[in-house]
A and B are shown apart, each in its own frame.
Chain A
């Protein structure tokens, strides 16, 4: 479904991604693990078209998307929970959800989609007229997820959704990600929490200093020396 072929990205003179190649098949739950500064967020932004790659190509369902603008890429069924969630703090829960469906411009089934998100996250329904900034971290994480689901994406990109959450909430969040994947959405999960991530992912990639240094099934990654040493500390 999603494929990156030797993608390199630069911010001015600094090369952030070096010839990154990876592929995520339809219906899969793939993960990207890597330490701070490895280029994970840049990779997400490159897929979304917010950052343009200097070389290489990105393909979505066999069509090349690396020359498209972000709104065109979102319109092809990609949704994202960005790094730090980036909710619209002054807007209400309902307005944040509206923005999730913005790409289709007032879809007729907006109410149905919203109610579906409310059924996944009942807390959001209780707070629908409350501004996003006044919610707890866990609720904000739910809202960010709900907003991304409002466009009924085929590919969901998650950039460290567990950041700053209490362990019990992280548990719930990963269960939710798994459920979303099982309902048919392809998920590309970027995380630092390697243990939890490898429990739910089908396969994954390791990113270090802008390069893919490892790839394979979740099982093989769990066993690899590199991951055990760097992330699992066993």
Chain B
């Protein structure tokens, strides 16, 4: 158990060091430390097997330790509001990734319109608060349902097409969404919607800087904790779903529709359930993004973001709940760290995906076998 916590603490320290190191020397040291740690894990077999054993034996301790470290992360990052923001973004991608993974990974419904459904969540919050004057929390609660409802537009193509053809339909959907947002009057056109009021819960505004005892955190820490709670809930719910009878049935219709039908799986019902639940969580992620940033505009939800969402799943591990968490936590902050490469860092995305598909097609954290009592 101690070993588990020790390992988690080391990873945590490395991440924080890697994020906060500013001077080239410190950054290089952090980078070398991370590479050394990775190499130790990869090439020292006894260490690796000891760690694997420890984590397998104490899953609850590992989860608690991870949760505790996630809770103190804003403390470690308190000098940098920017990195608190990035960490929050990563957590939003966890929520979005879990929803998308249910569709793409578990059910095989290739949805490349993730950005559009996140955008539906975001724009709904904008319209409901700025346009209709709803309180932010109510708008955030309602927005995912808009994503689910508009997703119903795609029900027919989802049942009629599969694989690449479905991917094309959903790509078209993102572009239609973007063109509409750019040109519709009531969504603000290319300007988008500005001045979305921040989240307020019981009189507490999320723009206030929270203080823990004597330590003052950046205002973004509020959203960090909200996003953490959401990501935790989304992961928990989708894990239950994945391990349930429904999750298993979704896997069967991804693998062999005829065999699934022979087992009495209703393809239509199961696909639409998975698609709608997935859209709910994608929309929720978009809604939280809107209240956090305070404005939404078409380029925030263009096709490129669909691809980032897809990469989160591919790099983490298709159909792997843990993989989504890992993928989001790697893929969102890392490019920020490489900002000095300017736009070339986007090439890194492409490179990473190609390398992953070549050498580790099942992802960094491949989906395991379900456990039954």
B266 contacts A by Cβ under 8 Å:
yes
B258 contacts A by Cβ under 8 Å:
yes
Q: How near does chain A come to B247, taking the closest CB pair, in angstroms? A: 10
B259 partner, pick from A69, A75, A88, A98, beta carbons under 8 A: A88
> Are A71 and B252 interface neighbours, CB within 8 A?
no
Q: Note all chain B residues with C-beta closer than 8 A to A91.
A: 248, 251-252, 255
Report A70-116 residues with CB < 8 Å from chain B CB.
70-71, 74-75, 80, 82, 86-92, 94-95, 98-100, 102-103, 105-106
Scoring B residues 124 to 161 as 1 if CB is less than 8 Å from chain A, else 0, what string do you get?
00000000000000000000000000000000000000
B contact patch SS: helix
Q: How near does chain B come to A46, taking the closest CB pair, in angstroms? A: 13
Q: Note all chain A residues with C-beta closer than 8 A to B255.
A: 88-91
Q: Note all chain B residues with C-beta closer than 8 A to A100.
A: 263
A71 partner, pick from B245, B261, B370, beta carbons under 8 A: B261
Q: How many residue-residue contacts, CB under 8 A, span A and B?
A: 66
A82 partner, pick from B245, B251, B259, beta carbons under 8 A: B259
Once bound together, how far apart are the Cα atoms of A159 and B166, in whole Å?
Answer: 32
Q: Note all chain A residues with C-beta closer than 8 A to B264.
A: 70-71, 74-75, 102-103, 151
A1 contacts B by Cβ under 8 Å:
no
A215 contacts B by Cβ under 8 Å:
no
Report B217-253 residues with CB < 8 Å from chain A CB.
245, 248-249, 251-252
> Are B252 and A82 interface neighbours, CB within 8 A?
no
A48 contacts B by Cβ under 8 Å:
yes
With A88-B256, A98-B245, A102-B245 as contacts: A74 and B262 at CB distance below 8 Å: yes
Q: How near does chain A come to B242, taking the closest CB pair, in angstroms? A: 12
Q: Note all chain B residues with C-beta closer than 8 A to A82.
A: 258-259, 262
A203 contacts B by Cβ under 8 Å:
no
Q: Note all chain B residues with C-beta closer than 8 A to A151.
A: 264
B262 partner, pick from A70, A98, A129, beta carbons under 8 A: A70
B347 contacts A by Cβ under 8 Å:
no
A147 contacts B by Cβ under 8 Å:
yes
B372 contacts A by Cβ under 8 Å:
yes
A50 contacts B by Cβ under 8 Å:
yes
Kindly report which residue of chain A lies nearest to residue B367, judged by CB atoms: A90
> Are A50 and B249 interface neighbours, CB within 8 A?
no
Interface size on A, residues (CB 8 A): 28
> Are B251 and A71 interface neighbours, CB within 8 A?
no
B369 partner, pick from A74, A102, A129, beta carbons under 8 A: A129
With A75-B264, A102-B264 as contacts: A88 and B245 at CB distance below 8 Å: no
> Are A86 and B266 interface neighbours, CB within 8 A?
no
Kindly report which residue of chain B lies nearest to residue A128, judged by CB atoms: B372
> Are A103 and B263 interface neighbours, CB within 8 A?
yes
Q: Note all chain B residues with C-beta closer than 8 A to A129.
A: 369
> Are A48 and B261 interface neighbours, CB within 8 A?
yes
28 contacts between A and B (CB under 8 A): A50-B258, A50-B262, A70-B261, A70-B262, A70-B264, A74-B264, A75-B264, A88-B255, A88-B256, A88-B259, A90-B255, A91-B248, A91-B251, A92-B369, A94-B372, A95-B370, A98-B245, A99-B248, A99-B252, A99-B265, A100-B263, A102-B245, A102-B248, A102-B249, A102-B264, A102-B265, A103-B264, A129-B369
Q: A88-B251, A91-B252 are in contact. List 8 more A-B contacts (CB 8 A).
A: A88-B256, A90-B251, A91-B255, A98-B245, A99-B263, A102-B264, A103-B264, A129-B369
Q: Which residues of B contact A (CB under 8 A)?
A: 245, 248-249, 251-252, 255-256, 258-266, 369-370, 372
- Per CB-CB distance, the 5 closest pairs between chain A and chain B, nearest first, are A74-B264, A103-B264, A86-B259, A71-B266, A70-B261
